[in-house]
């Protein structure tokens, strides 16, 4: 199963075996325990729930603790469900990065970094006005549209809260999977701040 | 040490000879040619040495058939087989960009003679 939960550690670059020096994001992934198997007959769909991250036992609610106990698993901090590539996965199994290989393609889901209340330039890649020669429109949104319309078109892009969205980066290449240290090296950036939870899934686009 | 520092440390080669800009070095790099791998040598003056850790790179300059050629190498790349120092030069700058404009005798670098 090429699905796992992890913690974003940060970015660096590594040499690949063929001599390229590639930018990578380091993810500390797993070991995750399988806590539940959902089936078509009982739940209406097939899925596997896996858990990751240490947590104090006293912080786990009774209800959740019972849920873990039912499936003979230690309580963990995060639980996420996966619906693809789950054949033969049963509760109690442990999932590590050993199932990944260099060259595999994955999608990485994270919560993007918060940027607060941001203007159009940062939030929507607006180009902004001229800096000098008396332009007087620097980083403003400027025109809001046609005066004949007499109203603002719905859905127009405005300044506002930016970031802290669930974001998926698709089709990222696995550069290295280090089973000894539970590290997954993914080519390029992934969403979210350091130490945040990231969900690594088998790529939906790549066959 | 955090994970990223450990990874960077592992990328580095155990030993790289000591050299600095102004020195003449031979860089032996592995090239794949027609499906075969062989080692190619490039000799010239180190004009720039920059970056730290595994990212460290050097730029080597030589004049080949009257044309100035500059090649840059990642010092810790597995593609760079080894580096040998052939001459020590005396220079007063860390980046020898001025060599690009000099030709012939003006582009010479004083050699540091080993102390006897």
Asked if the model's pLDDT at residue A165 lies above 90, the reply is yes
8 A C-beta contact, residue A167 and residue A198: no
Burial of B46 (0-12, 13-18, 19+ CB in 10 A): buried
Residues 24-83 of chain B with CB under 8 A from chain A are 30, 54-55, 74, 76-79
Please, which residues have CB within 8 angstroms of residue A105's CB and are 6 or more apart in sequence? A171, A172, A173, A174, A202, A203, A205, A206
* Angle in degrees, CA A192, A193, A197, rounded to 5: 65
Rounded Cα–Cα distance for residues A198 and A189 (Å): 12
Contact with chain B for residue A28, Cβ under 8 A: yes
Q: Within 10 Å of residue B29's Cβ, how many Cβ atoms?
A: 19
Rounded Cα–Cα distance for residues B43 and B49 (Å): 15
pLDDT, tens digit, for every residue of B88-103?
988 899 999 998 888 8
CB contact under 8 A, B8 and A12: yes
Residue A23: the pLDDT is 94
Asked if the model's pLDDT at residue B43 lies above 60, the reply is yes
Contact with chain A for residue B90, Cβ under 8 A: no
Chain B hits for A13, Cβ within 8 Å? 54-55
pLDDT, tens digit, for every residue of A14-40?
998 888 899 999 999 878 888 888 888
Please, which residues have CB within 8 angstroms of residue A80's CB and are 6 or more apart in sequence? A5, A49, A50, A52, A199
Residue B32: the pLDDT is 85
Q: What is the DSSP string of A77-108?
A: SEEEEE-SS-TT--TT-EE-GGG--TT-EEEE
Architecture of the domain spanning A4-115+165-202: Beta Barrel (2.40)
Q: How many CB pairs under 8 A join A and B?
A: 36
SS3 A8: strand
Rounded Cα–Cα distance for residues B47 and B107 (Å): 12
Q: Where in chain A is the domain with CATH 2.40.30.10?
A: 4-115+165-202
Q: What is the DSSP string of A33-74?
A: EEEEEE-HHHHSS-EEEEEES---GGGS-HHHHHHHHHTT--
Rounded Cα–Cα distance for residues B67 and B64 (Å): 5
Residue A144: the pLDDT is 81
Asked if the model's pLDDT at residue A166 lies above 60, the reply is yes
Residue A90: the pLDDT is 80
* Consecutive H or E run containing B8: helix B3-11
pLDDT above 90 covers a percentage of chain A that reads: 42
Residue A207: the pLDDT is 66
For residues A53-82, average pLDDT: 84
Asked if the model's pLDDT at residue A187 lies above 90, the reply is yes
Which among B2, B7, B79 is the nearest to A14, CB-wise? Answer: B7
8 A C-beta contact, residue B22 and residue B58: no
Chain B hits for A186, Cβ within 8 Å? none
Chain A hits for B7, Cβ within 8 Å? 12, 14, 26, 183
**Which of A57-66, A83-92, B86-95 is most confident?**
B86-95
Residue A63: the pLDDT is 85
Nearest to A108 by CA among A16, A20, A45, A187: A187
CB contact under 8 A, A15 and B55: no
Asked if the model's pLDDT at residue A146 lies above 80, the reply is yes
Q: Please, which pLDDT band fits residue A153 given cuts at 50, 70 and 90?
A: confident
Please provide the size of chain A in residues. Answer: 207
Burial of B30 (0-12, 13-18, 19+ CB in 10 A): middle
Rounded Cα–Cα distance for residues B12 and A150 (Å): 64
DSSP B97: G
pLDDT, tens digit, for every residue of B44-86?
999 999 988 888 999 999 988 888 899 999 999 988 888 999 8
Asked if the model's pLDDT at residue B116 lies above 60, the reply is no
Best A11, A19, A24, A186 residue to mutate vs chain B (most B CBs within 10 Å): A19
pLDDT, tens digit, for every residue of B8-38?
888 888 888 889 899 999 999 988 888 888 8
């Amino acid at each position: 199963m090429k699905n796992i939960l992890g913690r974003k550690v940060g970015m660096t670059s590594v040499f690949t075996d063929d001599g390229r020096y590639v930018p990578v994001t380091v993810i500390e992934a797993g070991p995750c325990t399988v806590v539940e198997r959902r089936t078509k007959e009982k739940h209406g769909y097939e899925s596997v729930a896996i858990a990751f991250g240490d947590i104090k036992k006293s912080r786990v609610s009774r209800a959740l603790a019972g849920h873990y106990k039912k499936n003979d698993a230690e309580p963990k901090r995060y639980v996420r469900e996966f619906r693809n590539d789950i054949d033969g996965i049963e509760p109690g199994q442990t999932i590590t990065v050993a199932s990944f290989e260099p060259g595999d393609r994955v999608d990485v889901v994270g919560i993007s970094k918060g940027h607060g209340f941001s203007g159009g330039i940062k939030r929507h890649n607006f180009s902004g006005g001229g800096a000098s020669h008396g332009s007087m429109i620097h980083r403003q949104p400027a025109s809001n549209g046609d005066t004949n319309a007499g109203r603002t078109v719905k859905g127009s892009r405005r300044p506002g809260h930016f970031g802290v969205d669930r974001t998926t980066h698709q089709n990222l290449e696995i550069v290295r999977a280090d089973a000894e240290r539970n590290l997954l090296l993914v080519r390029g950036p992934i969403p979210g701040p350091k130490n945040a939870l990231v969900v690594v899934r088998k790529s939906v686009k790549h066959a | 040490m955090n994970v990223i520092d450990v990874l960077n440390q592992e990328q580095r080669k155990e030993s790289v000879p000591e050299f600095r800009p102004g020195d003449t070095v031979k860089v032996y790099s592995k090239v794949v040619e027609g499906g075969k791998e062989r080692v190619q040598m490039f000799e010239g003056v180190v004009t720039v040495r920059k970056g730290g850790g595994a990212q460290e790179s050097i730029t080597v300059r030589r004049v080949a058939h009257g044309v100035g050629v500059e090649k840059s190498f990642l010092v810790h790349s597995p593609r760079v087989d080894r580096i040998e120092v052939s001459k020590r030069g005396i220079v007063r700058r860390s980046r020898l960009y001025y060599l690009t404009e000099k030709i012939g005798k003006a582009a010479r670098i004083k050699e540091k003679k080993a102390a006897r």
